[in-house]
Structure 1
Amino acid sequence: MSQTMPPENLSSRLLTVLSLPLFERVHELSILFDRCSLRQVHEIFPHVVHSIFGIDGNPLGWGLRTTTLENNPLQFQTLNQFFGVCGPWMRVCHRLLVDQYKFELDINLLPAKFVSLLQNGQNPSFYAELINVETMMQQVSTLSLNAFDFYVIHFVLHALQPLHSINPIAMQIHNVRSKTVYLKLVAEYLNNFLPLVPDARIEPVHFSSGVKAPQPLPAQALQPQRQPRYIKISSSYRNGGNVSVGGGSPSASVGGNMSPQSNSPNASSQRAYAWRSESVLHFFVDIWLRYDIESEHHLPSSDFVRGVRTLVKQVHFFANGAQLDHSSLCALRKVSLSMVKVRIYAFIVGLIDRWPLDSSLMVVLELWLSYIQPWRYTIAALNNKAPSLSYRPPISSCFDGFIIDNLIMYTHVFTQLMPHFGRLDYTVYRNAFMLYRLATIFSQHDLVDKLQRFEQIHAGNAFGFDSPQRQVNIMNKSVSPGTQWNQSVNTSSVKLFSFTMQTQMETFLLVISMARNSVLRDIAKLRNEIAEKQRSEGFLKNFYKKMFGECTQEEVTLREFSRIPEVLRQCIDAFCRTFNVDQANLSMHETLPEEPSIPSAPAVQNFSFFDASDTLDTSKLNPHQMSLNASNLHAAVDPATLPIQTNEVRALVRILHFVSEKINKKYGSQLQGFYVRDDYFGKVSRQLLYAPMTEQWFDKSSGHVEICENLVPPRVCLRPLGSISALTTIGCSMILGQLVWGSPLLGIFILATVLLVYIMLQALFS
């Protein structure tokens, strides 16, 4: 170790380092940690953690949730290497475990539900050695955590920051599928500390200490507000686990010093291996799945939901390895899934209730589908899995217990989702694909058979409680206020395979069939428009476009549209098989007018937002009509300003756009005069210049959607020269000129001459 940093310079040096740009900050911070003594590292460690995650300052922190490989590759790699499981930061965290240094965490930073649980004395035994109780108020005030736990709990809490609502950069990133460095680290931490493979090595391996020093419980221990009515012994206890008090969390069986191996001679060495996994599992599950969606002002961001999905998938992997694991992690594997189970239902139901009706609903759907398919996350499935979402591993009988215990997750969540799917716009491919994902999962023959059989047998005890009435009471507390499940357990409204549900699915599939027919009509209309445009442009221009692979915006839209009818057809077929719906009842309506009447609903007229009459009553529009009307509203932008495509050279396109803008700005009036001329010169100008158009876009800055327009005059656009096909043509002409005439410039001259003749002929016959 280098010379120790003088204490009087430590604080000022730390402030200087934390104010540096990221790359220099990481480098200087690593040097600072090497120069400091262990006591000095303990002194500055919490300040660095607060800086990383923006505690009492900039909520972006070091940008873990706004940095992606696409927007900043260097910063992404720097953060990923620094915070990785084998990176410098993890070595610092484990270095502080030598003397079991403790750090205080204010419980006000924790979710409100979690704080309430701690204050009421209902905390799992895992937190018994961590809580500090204020003697005067007899309330939990702080948690005493070692360096590793202190960092991990702040890392987990960082996902709850509503960055998407307070920072435009985060809003843009969280609404796309880009993976931030935070999500990359989430997957890395969970895969390392909750390993899939039994007896896996958890990094970092070498550190001086590691067993959590037991904290003495407060002299006057916190007691639950209500005494437990009965004691329920879980299956994990019969396999070597501990007693779990009824109504408490299953996680209690692995907390604190109550490790399943605590009576064995090598309990200390076993706990030294397992305690980090206990901390990671408890912090991620207890904090993330206790996010109170109903009471929070901000809806969680999509990247947070994707992080929860990563957690669910890794817990499945972790739990499914219990039968093959004989290490100290075995007991933790056995209870990990039950820790998720008791909270995941309320979490997903709350998300579905508040999530907007657009294609971003896919992240919530994928979270739910990941939880209800544990057979996808086994060692065998991972080794045999084809790289496709269409892979359907067989459902072994060993998962029957999971399906029975989580039957409510299959039935109630499905029935809650269907009204949302009935209001989606299926002219958008992502919405159609979302329905396809749901349909294909619930059309698996072995899954449908199991659900039908278990729903008939275990419908009254679907959530693993000791009585059907207790199950209903818990569900009533989990759902949103004002929503109550029927007190009769065997109610048909919650049964997935009943005549009532079959009737509802038939009505739903009728709406999907009409949406499919509407898309088919739009495709036919768009094809006619493209064909008419091609006829007006002439043979030579169409041949040129096909030769160089140029596509218009209409052709791109048609290609997107053309995928939708087949996807919707497969959805209809799958749901008909699952719910025994006769497709003949749907085909009878295919020749009816735009909006046939739905059973039990009054007939409605074919209203439209584009009706010019003064008697339009939009309150009579049903969701399907609103979807069809909304699909007629499209933003129109200048093709020259579209995002750079993969078949274009990014730097060259930007240069050509800059040159085009300069030409248009300087000679705009002359170009417009050339374009409107009626003689042959005007025809040539119309072949060379982009046609005038009206740009349209949606402005939401005022709180409501407004359609804005801007008239774009005739203009020069050199962007086509930046495509790879154009550059390839120029290169081939230069090579041909060199080989045939001995001069590459002559090849370019001949190419330009051919293009000029082509344009003049095209103008002549236009």
Structure 2
Amino acid sequence: MTNSADVAVVRMNAYLNLRLIERCRELENLIDESSTAELQLVFPALIDSIFGLTNKIGWGLHNISLTKNPHEYEAFLNFLGPTGPIFSLCYKLLPDCYLKYDFPVSYLPTKIRTMLEEGIIPPFYSDKLKDDQSSRLPQVLSMNPYEYYIFHFAYHLSNPGFSFSQQKMFDELGNNLRPTCQFIFATLLPRDNSTVLPLIGPYEHHSNKCLSQVWRSETVVQVFGLLLEYTEEEKLISPLDSRLPPSLPRRHSIHSGEHIRLVRAFIKTLHEFANSSRESYYHQFKEKFIFLRKAIHHWPLDSSFRLILEAWLSFIQPWRYVRKFCSEGNLEGDERGKINDPSRWMSFVANNLLAYTAIFEQLLPRFIRTDLVAPKNALMLFRVTKVFSQPHLAEMLIETESCMDDANVSRGGKITATQWSAIVKQQILELEGPNYKYNPMFSESTISKIIWFLSTIKQAHLTATSIVEALEKRRLEKKIFLTIWEFFNGEESSTDDIGLTDRKKVPGFLLNSQQQIIEIFQIRLEDTPRVAIVADQEYHDSILSTSFSHQSQFDSSVDTHRPGVFVRIQEERHQFRYIEYMGDPEVQPVRSNECAFLVRTLYKICEIINSKYEREITNSYWRNDMIGRMAKRILQPPTIVRCLPKRTSKGFTLAQESELSPRLSLRILASYNFLVILILSILVFRFFEYGTYMYIFCLICWTFYTLIETACNF
């Protein structure tokens, strides 16, 4: 006989086949109507269905965005949020202290797995570990429903196996699961010294309310702090990886943009939580320092580095996340984002000195190698110098570094100096090891590097200024023609997709950065190198030579030295992206300056002609007389088409190449440029009262003249 728990599971499985909105509504009703005994079986199956820990599919929450799926997004946000049905389900099951669910150890970061295998058990895991009877190694974590849900949620956010469209998530800033995560942070890590939301559920909870709130907040901090950390898989190999079943998913290192945004959101929330709490959470900030240190070391030299940079700048500015409420409950805006009381933040600066000085020293060679003429790189430099030029910050760093000098400490005799000295030395020992040699940020060696870096900034400023002036001059010279061209084709752009408006900001960024660096390190004018600094003429010429014009936009598509053709896809009014197309040129995507209907119609006509007269067309193309030269002018040359390897269930397929024979292509007739010229010429003939036959006759004569002239000069 089927019991009620089995019926609840059957109902849940039926609801999982519904659309997301109906699914969330029906599951919410199921949770409200079912008893605790029934929900004990529903809970693990529902969590696995949502996050797809077994099949790595789940509900596809990463693909639901606020802009494209607003109703579905709101439905799952309410369903997963701290005031929604899932948390209500967790709180329903919590009173049963013997109810535990197993979370595989293999899902944890490699660093934690290695520690557990070596017998080093962090306090958070001490009462949760269950060993395998045969290998005597930790196999699963036994946890209550609340912890089970938080672990699954954090793992789903931080694991790349669930991010099916990383580039899409990279572009859509915050339209997926990250806002839900921030909602959980804001609720369970309160920012205004308020209490955590009370337990949700139709039962009485007799345990200590304060302890319950602290336990839930501590769980969120611990779980997200561990699963969002930076691990280097190639350097950390645990025996657990080889002894566990191969079908079990593994937790991999994450360096994606979405992961960095989650880390930044966690840092900001942790700042707000710590600023409203009396307890210290410096140990969590130390873990994030290690994350940023490793991420900066491995991150490539491109504009995406700004994600890491913004996370670091959020880390070193806790004063930006202070919520000071008046008696009316309003936020005092003038207190936010400023160091109004240096003594309040001195402790944080001392406890996290390496986050300021060591990472700054790590960034300096990176900025020296970076192309500072590029607008995004110039903006990153400006962001860094602007933060360090804040009032009182440089003084706090200088004071903290001076405390490290034992001679100064002994002469001064201040208790605070001795305290900061011990804190900084202990911090260096814990984070960098006993062999690390600390190089003060304001030492003579660092300042000498800064002085030479100022020369690099000065040259970049001169180069950026000369490029802007040259582009402005070119724009004025072609103003009339450019206006007509932009009317039909959009704004002129360059190969690096950098517009003139963005380039105009670069000199200002670099000039302000230069002045702020001088103020931070108190560099005198006579200390700067007396060398003649001029603009980088080679870089200047390369930027100007790569600017696209209407003559060269389509020349790159017939470059025989490239394996494919580059097709420009217009995304917005003044933004383009280029894709390398390696298939048949005739079936490449329709461009923004082409008529889609004509492209498809002319392709079908050419396909019929090429199929019917393939032999005649090929023979004509390879002839060495005038007919062959005219054919080479009209027909498309032989083209090699490449088929890239594809992933299948049996592995990757082999790359294949095939050659297309000479063929007729009328695609140029589908361009708006040709249509505009055609219409204008017809209007001119109409204006001079010439008939249609005269127009056709002139068009045929012009065509034959062009072909004969080409054949004679071939």
Indicate the residue corresponding to 1:503 in structure 2: 448
Structure 1 residue 268: Cα displacement: 2.6
Indicate the residue corresponding to 1:123 in structure 2: 121
Question: Cα deviation per residue 1:151-172 (whole Å; 9 max; x = unaligned)?
Answer: 00111112331248x73x2x21
Distance 2:419 2:604 in 1: 73
Q: After alignment, is 4-13 or 349-358 more displaced?
A: 4-13
Does the alignment pair 1:662 with 2:597?
yes
- Secondary structure of the residue that 1:61 maps to in structure 2? coil
Indicate the residue corresponding to 2:561 in structure 1: none
Distance 1:21 1:455 in 2: 59
Does the alignment pair 1:534 with 2:534?
no
Letter aligned with residue 270 of structure 1 = C
Structure 1 residue 662: Cα displacement: 1.5
Does the alignment pair 1:199 with 2:194?
yes
- 2:570 touches 2:592 (CA, 8 Å); kept in 1? no
Indicate the residue corresponding to 1:564 in structure 2: 506
Question: What TM-score do the two structures reach when normalised by structure 1?
Answer: 0.64
Distance 2:357 2:136 in 1: 43
Q: Compared with structure 1, are the counterparts of its residues 409 and 656 closer, same or farther at alpha carbon in structure 2 (3 Å cutoff)?
A: closer
- 2:67 touches 2:175 (CA, 8 Å); kept in 1? no
Distance 1:517 1:499 in 2: 27
Percent of matched pairs sharing the same residue: 23
Indicate the residue corresponding to 1:155 in structure 2: 153
Does the alignment pair 1:69 with 2:17?
no
Does the alignment pair 1:383 with 2:331?
yes
Does the alignment pair 1:642 with 2:577?
no
- Secondary structure of the residue that 1:445 maps to in structure 2? coil
Does the alignment pair 1:79 with 2:14?
no
- Structure 2 residue aligned with 1:90, among 87, 90, 98? 87
- Structure 1 residue aligned with 2:214, among 269, 274, 287? 274
Indicate the residue corresponding to 1:425 in structure 2: 371
Structure 1 residue 427: Cα displacement: 3.5
Q: Compared with structure 1, are the counterparts of its residues 203 and 305 closer, same or farther at alpha carbon in structure 2 (3 Å cutoff)?
A: farther
Indicate the residue corresponding to 2:104 in structure 1: 106
- Structure 1 residue aligned with 2:296, among 352, 363, 373? 352
- Secondary structure of the residue that 1:105 maps to in structure 2? strand
Question: What TM-score do the two structures reach when normalised by structure 2?
Answer: 0.69
- Secondary structure of the residue that 1:181 maps to in structure 2? coil
Structure 1 residue 419: Cα displacement: 1.3
Distance 2:66 2:541 in 1: 37
Indicate the residue corresponding to 1:56 in structure 2: 54
Query: What pairs up with 1:661-680 in 2 under 5 angstroms?
Result: 661-663=596-598, 666=601
Indicate the residue corresponding to 1:455 in structure 2: 401
Structure 1 residue 713: Cα displacement: 3.7
Indicate the residue corresponding to 2:662 in structure 1: none
Report the aligned-residue RMSD.
Answer: 4.5
Question: Cα deviation per residue 1:60-81 (whole Å; 9 max; x = unaligned)?
Answer: 4222333322343232222112
Letter aligned with residue 464 of structure 2 = V
Letter aligned with residue 471 of structure 2 = L
- 2:594 touches 2:671 (CA, 8 Å); kept in 1? no
Structure 1 residue 370: Cα displacement: 1.2
Letter aligned with residue 144 of structure 1 = S
- Secondary structure of the residue that 2:331 maps to in structure 1? helix
Letter aligned with residue 569 of structure 1 = L
- 1:103 touches 1:147 (CA, 8 Å); kept in 2? yes
Q: Compared with structure 1, are the counterparts of its residues 137 and 556 closer, same or farther at alpha carbon in structure 2 (3 Å cutoff)?
A: closer
Alignment size in residue pairs: 567
Q: Compared with structure 1, are the counterparts of its residues 392 and 471 closer, same or farther at alpha carbon in structure 2 (3 Å cutoff)?
A: closer
- 1:84 touches 1:188 (CA, 8 Å); kept in 2? yes
Structure 1 residue 179: Cα displacement: 0.5
Q: Compared with structure 1, are the counterparts of its residues 468 and 387 closer, same or farther at alpha carbon in structure 2 (3 Å cutoff)?
A: closer
Distance 1:399 1:433 in 2: 27
Q: After alignment, is 98-107 or 373-382 more displaced?
A: 373-382
Distance 2:137 2:421 in 1: 31
- 1:502 touches 1:580 (CA, 8 Å); kept in 2? no
Distance 2:147 2:443 in 1: 49
Q: Compared with structure 1, are the counterparts of its residues 550 and 288 closer, same or farther at alpha carbon in structure 2 (3 Å cutoff)?
A: closer
Q: Compared with structure 1, are the counterparts of its residues 423 and 5 closer, same or farther at alpha carbon in structure 2 (3 Å cutoff)?
A: farther
Q: After alignment, is 150-159 or 549-558 more displaced?
A: 549-558
- Secondary structure of the residue that 2:94 maps to in structure 1? coil
Indicate the residue corresponding to 2:255 in structure 1: 300
Indicate the residue corresponding to 1:515 in structure 2: 460
Distance 2:489 2:593 in 1: 24
Letter aligned with residue 420 of structure 1 = R
- 2:94 touches 2:145 (CA, 8 Å); kept in 1? yes
- Secondary structure of the residue that 1:270 maps to in structure 2? helix
Does the alignment pair 1:321 with 2:249?
no
Indicate the residue corresponding to 2:628 in structure 1: none
Does the alignment pair 1:402 with 2:348?
yes
Gaps in structure 1 of 5+ consecutive residues:
212-266, 324-333, 479-483, 596-605, 607-624, 648-653, 671-698, 704-709, 722-751, 762-766
- 1:114 touches 1:290 (CA, 8 Å); kept in 2? no
Distance 2:314 2:151 in 1: 24
Distance 1:463 1:66 in 2: 50
Question: Cα deviation per residue 1:163-220 (whole Å; 9 max; x = unaligned)?
Answer: 48x73x2x21332252033110111111111101123352555563668xxxxxxxxx
Structure 1 residue 711: Cα displacement: 12
Indicate the residue corresponding to 1:576 in structure 2: 518
Indicate the residue corresponding to 1:435 in structure 2: 381
Structure 1 residue 300: Cα displacement: 1.9
Distance 1:155 1:106 in 2: 14
Letter aligned with residue 576 of structure 1 = I
Distance 2:419 2:288 in 1: 12
Letter aligned with residue 597 of structure 2 = K
- 1:514 touches 1:594 (CA, 8 Å); kept in 2? yes
